A and B are shown apart, each in its own frame.
Chain A
Amino acid sequence: MFRFIFRRLLGLVFVLFGVSIFTFAITQLVPVDPAASALGANAREEQIQAYRQELGLDRPAWEQYLIYVGRVLGGDLGQSIRTRRPVAADLWDFFPATLELSLAALLVATFVGIPLGLLAALRRNHWLDGVSRLIALVGGSMPIFYVGLLGLGFFYRQLRWLPGGGRIDATLKPPPDITGLFTIDALLAGNWPLFQNAVWHLILPALTLGYFSAAILLRITRSSMLEVLAQDYVRTARAKGLSERMVVMRHIFKNALPPVLTTVGITFGGLLSGAVLTETVFTWPGLGRYATTSVSNLDLPAVMGVTLIAAVIYPIVNTLVDIGYSFVDPRIRVE
């Protein structure tokens, strides 16, 4: 067991090392001088030179990389050229918004995708199956940003049922910062109206982002269920007179679950990509929007920071899922 965990963690360290090199390499691709672009067109040559020195851009690449890694290990991701704040502080502020949105979307995906997939498999070739498969096909083929725009146009502009963007109304004060998730913090503060407002703002973005993942979960659940349905032990369970409910929940669903759970884990990483587009559409102040603005402003320290963090979250989640699995399913450890 310990050997398994150790090997996984060692692999993680290697990946994170590679991620740091790659993130750094991306910034070396930039064809324009970030110092010059940060200071604007009116800057004098001496000013640009001084700023280059301040940013350490005058040193050779390998030296810049070593300095960068040294700083990152100390928790310093540099200073954003655009916000003039430490990148780590920026990310700390923007991360909870993305986490809240991703968790809500994962909730939508799980509660829509898995039951629909289950139903589709049990009612195979029934019209319910057809509808479910259509939902999955459209979900996997529709641009997520168009779904978001449609939702906004219909439920906000036309019907005025749901708010048009942001995490809470602009007139409201955010709840005291405990978890950074507005819904949870509002509840903890006992502020019911604020909680409602935060949930109200979360609905459209979470549905938009969740629909895409729901489509994936639906497909996996359906095919995994169909595979288990064909097994001999299912026939045996039915033959010995178990109720259909018992057969489905105990024998079929339980055995169909592992690939579904793996997909939930993988989906979480995909949510970060989807968040870039969803956050842009819904002016949601999360990592995705931070990434987009940083890239368009060529704010290199911020781009490096956000790419690094995004690339760190995913393998860590994956490693945790793997280790968690090895407790549940001993066969994985042997492999």
Chain B
Amino acid sequence: MLKDALRRLRKEPLALAGLFLLLLFFLVAPLAPVLSPFSPLEQNISASLTAPGSSYWLGTDKLGRDLFSRMLYGARISVFVGLAVVTLAGTFGTLVGLVAGYRRGWLDETMMRVTDIFFAFPGLILAMAIAGALGPSLRNALIAVAVVLWPVYARLVRGQVLVLREREFVQAAQAIGVGHWGVILRHLLPNVLGPLLVQASFDMGATILTVAGLSFIGFGAQPPTPEWGVMISEGRNYITTQWWLTAVPAGAILLFVAAFNLVGDGLRDLLDPRLRR
């Protein structure tokens, strides 16, 4: 099956390009300290606002910090941000969805009404209120975005489980006496992993965008952290004169998020044959 998926993936150049970009980012992120020519915080006022060139590949900001190094460290932060939020929200939401869909009845009804409440809030406003209340920091922004995100997984998984639980293999497992958790973890969970993976791919991108947005308005990572949203905020007054200050982090966000979206699209097409056109 994996072989088949890879063969089909080869016919999807866009998804393949996305996958390649993702691998690049995931490779570069942990290696940031090795690959960076400078420390991301090291200031060199005499080289302030240098244009991209041979000494500073992507230029420097107003404090003379090397943008290439800051971009690499920013990748490390964004990879961590995406993974942390999606893992937190995905695990909790999946658990809620599995239990709600499997047990049905009042438990399901209550849990779904709770997700309704979360869906009522515009994501960024809720995240901002939580992040602001907890105090602005990258950690709190992550918690805030995870709180906003988990109901998506609860809904998705519950919908899948409602269908799966009527299928013969689940009823057969129940009939031979497999316990509730056995059915949930061994028979239902593996069958919802596909759609979960697609959703997670899109959400990694969306989370990176949201956290960058929170940092941009001051409720996420704080300067001088080399976070991409912070970098755009710091460079905003130089957008027409020293364009690289904002273009470098914005370009990095665009590529990284687009990569997740392309891979998400590709995965969805692979898993859902009806969409394959």
A residues apposed to B, CB below 8 Å: 11, 14-16, 18-19, 22-23, 26-27, 29-31, 137-138, 140-146, 149-150, 152-154, 157-158, 223, 226, 230, 269-270, 272-274, 276-277, 280, 288, 291-292, 295-296, 298, 303, 306-307, 310-312, 314-315
A153 to B120, CA, bound (A): 35
**B216–A314 contact, CB under 8 A?**
no
**B130–A29 contact, CB under 8 A?**
yes
> Given A143-B209, A145-B216, A145-B232, are A26 and B122 neighbors across the interface (CB < 8 Å)?
no
Of the candidates A31, A149, A226, A310, the one whose C-beta lies within 8 Å of that of B246 is A149
Which partner residue on chain A sits nearest B118 by CB separation? A22
Contacts beyond the supplied A137-B258, A141-B209: 4 A-B pairs with Cβ under 8 Å: A18-B117, A22-B117, A138-B254, A153-B239
Residues on A with beta carbons closer than 8 Å to the beta carbon of B6: none
> Is residue B253 within 8 Å, beta carbon to beta carbon, of the partner chain?
yes
Q: Give chain B interface residues in 134-185, CB to chain A under 8 Å.
A: 134-136
A145 to B211, CA, bound (A): 12
Give the A-B pair count, Cβ closer than 8 A.
147
**A31–B122 contact, CB under 8 A?**
no
A18 to B115, CA, bound (A): 10
A140 to B204, CA, bound (A): 13
A103 to B258, CA, bound (A): 27
B residues apposed to A, CB below 8 Å: 113-114, 116-126, 128-136, 205, 209, 212-213, 216-219, 229, 232, 236, 239-240, 246, 250, 253-254, 257-258, 261-262, 275, 277
Of the candidates A18, A141, A288, A307, the one whose C-beta lies within 8 Å of that of B205 is A141
Residues on B with beta carbons closer than 8 Å to the beta carbon of A312: 120
Q: Least Cβ distance of A12 to chain B in Å? A: 9
A310 to B126, CA, bound (A): 9
Of the candidates B117, B119, B212, B239, the one whose C-beta lies within 8 Å of that of A143 is B212
Q: Least Cβ distance of A184 to chain B in Å? A: 24
> Given A145-B232, A273-B123, are A29 and B117 neighbors across the interface (CB < 8 Å)?
no
User: Interface majority SS on A: helix, strand, loop or mixed?
Assistant: helix
User: Interface majority SS on B: helix, strand, loop or mixed?
Assistant: helix
> Given A30-B133, A315-B120, are A150 and B257 neighbors across the interface (CB < 8 Å)?
no
**A144–B213 contact, CB under 8 A?**
yes
**B132–A310 contact, CB under 8 A?**
no
Q: Least Cβ distance of A218 to chain B in Å? A: 13
Which partner residue on chain B sits nearest A314 by CB separation? B120
Q: Least Cβ distance of A128 to chain B in Å? A: 17
Which partner residue on chain B sits nearest A269 by CB separation? B122
Q: Least Cβ distance of B21 to chain A in Å? A: 11
Residues on A with beta carbons closer than 8 Å to the beta carbon of B128: 276, 291-292, 295
A246 to B277, CA, bound (A): 25
**A18–B113 contact, CB under 8 A?**
yes
Q: Least Cβ distance of A117 to chain B in Å? A: 15
**B130–A26 contact, CB under 8 A?**
yes
Residues on A with beta carbons closer than 8 Å to the beta carbon of B254: 138, 141-143
Q: Least Cβ distance of B229 to chain A in Å? A: 7
> Given A29-B134, A146-B246, are A153 and B232 neighbors across the interface (CB < 8 Å)?
no
A29 to B133, CA, bound (A): 6
A197 to B87, CA, bound (A): 48
**B217–A310 contact, CB under 8 A?**
no
A140 to B209, CA, bound (A): 10
A303 to B119, CA, bound (A): 18
**B116–A11 contact, CB under 8 A?**
yes
> Given A26-B129, A144-B213, A296-B132, are A314 and B121 neighbors across the interface (CB < 8 Å)?
yes
Residues on A with beta carbons closer than 8 Å to the beta carbon of B114: 18
**A15–B117 contact, CB under 8 A?**
yes
Residues on B with beta carbons closer than 8 Å to the beta carbon of A226: 277
Q: Least Cβ distance of B216 to chain A in Å? A: 5
**A273–B132 contact, CB under 8 A?**
no
A15, A230, A270, A298 interface centre (most CB from chain B within 10 Å): A15
25 chain-A/chain-B pairs, Cβ below 8 angstroms: A15-B113, A15-B116, A18-B113, A18-B114, A19-B117, A30-B134, A138-B254, A140-B258, A141-B257, A142-B253, A142-B254, A143-B232, A143-B254, A145-B232, A146-B246, A157-B239, A223-B275, A276-B124, A276-B128, A276-B217, A292-B217, A296-B132, A310-B122, A311-B126, A314-B119
Residues on A with beta carbons closer than 8 Å to the beta carbon of B134: 29-31
A114 to B259, CA, bound (A): 24
